[in-house]
Amino acid sequence: MCSGRVDLGHVLRAFSNGMDGVFVGGCRLNECNYLTHGNYDALNMVLLCRRIMEHIGLNPDRLRIEFMSSSDGPLFAETMRQFGSKVRTLGPLGVGEGLDDEVCNARLAEVRRLVPYIKLVKHEKLASRLEHPDDYDHLFTSDEIDRLFNEVISYYIDPEKCQACMICARRCPVDAIDGAKNQIHIIDQGKCLKCGICFEVCPAKFGAVMEIAGDPAPPPIPQEERTIVR
């Protein structure tokens, strides 16, 4: 399997399932067998994930990526020996960082929920091609990741403006909008990908969908108050 298929969600799920370290191995850079150069995608993903791990208080050394060919058996063995030794030194996930299981799992769960949003916001950098190793430490910065999480976008449908036109509900790619004819629509924040489609397609004459940055969306109105009387 191409290393480019290793998704940010896969790595975070491994940590959520109790793995103390994750290793990603790929073909040597610029030696892609399929001309897709997916190993650059894997590299960018790992660099982003390591910064995210720093942000939530996990040691980024628990995630490692290396590039080698199928003939590099001794190199692979030595790399895995070193990585295994490093992970043992770090100790169990969270414990080595001074986090209890509940806090560690909660932080990982929150990041996993935001994976689609993170990939959407950072898609240009995730698709970039780093030509020089010196660039690796600068693709994603700690300040950049702090801003990413502090300025998370949420979408909310203003019950005073919603006309139950159903346009946003029909266009939502994950059915995160609940609504029907003559019923004020609401967005399920747990399902929402934060893609912004609802914001874009809401008719300007209504302007019911609000984009909220940095603050959580208001709670949805009660079911009994959602009926629109024409």
For residues 130-146, average pLDDT: 89
> Across the chain, what does the average pLDDT equal?
94
> pTM of the predicted model, to two decimals?
0.86
What pLDDT is stored for residue 124 in this prediction?
95
Q: How far apart are alpha carbons 9 and 113 in whole angstroms?
A: 9
Q: Are residues 154 and 199 in contact, defined by beta-carbon separation less than 8 angstroms?
A: no
Q: Which of 213, 152, 222, 132 is nearest to 183 (CA)?
A: 222
CA distances (Å), origin 104, targets 55, 94, 109, 144: 12, 6, 9, 22
Q: How far apart are alpha carbons 172 and 168 in whole angstroms?
A: 6
Q: Name the CA dihedral angle for 130, 132, 135, 137, rounded to a multiple of 10 degrees.
A: 100
Give residue-wise pLDDT tens across range 48-90: 999 999 999 999 999 999 999 989 999 999 999 999 999 999 9
Residue 188 pLDDT exceeds 80:
yes
Domains of the chain (ranges plus CATH)? 3-150 (no CATH), 153-225 (3.30.70.20)
Name beta bridge partners: 120: none
What pLDDT is stored for residue 135 in this prediction?
84
Q: How far apart are alpha carbons 56 and 121 in whole angstroms?
A: 19
Q: Which of 23, 6, 10 is nearest to 81 (CA)?
A: 23
What pLDDT is stored for residue 95 in this prediction?
95
What pLDDT is stored for residue 103 in this prediction?
96
Q: How far apart are alpha carbons 160 and 134 in whole angstroms?
A: 53
Name beta bridge partners: 180: 183
What pLDDT is stored for residue 31 in this prediction?
87
Q: Are residues 69 and 32 in contact, defined by beta-carbon separation less than 8 angstroms?
A: no
